[in-house]
Amino acid sequence: MSRQTINFWVLFTISIIISAIIISVFVKALKVILMVILVLALAPVVYLVLRLLIPGQKTVDENDKLKKRH
């Protein structure tokens, strides 16, 4: 084998390994981005459902405040 052939195969295998690493990092980043988008999209829905299910303190109306003063 000539030196050029060995250089070709070495560079070819290194480029495949580097490409695989870059693709795996890109896929992981996409998963994280997708998870963040889904969490941000579902957070208001979950908040509203929990607000309906869990009874909270009733807010005081302005009319109630005025009635209490007199």
Give, for 22, the enclosing helix (H) or strand (E): helix 3-53
Domain limits, the chain: 3-69
Helix (H) or strand (E) holding 5: helix 3-53
Rounded distance between C-alpha atoms, residue 53 and residue 55, angstroms: 6
Q: What is the pLDDT of residues 5-64, one digit of tens each?
A: 999 999 999 999 999 999 999 999 999 999 999 999 999 999 999 999 988 766 555 666
Q: At a CB cut-off of 8 Å and minimum separation 6, what does 12 contact?
A: none
At 70, the pLDDT band (50, 70, 90 cuts) reads low
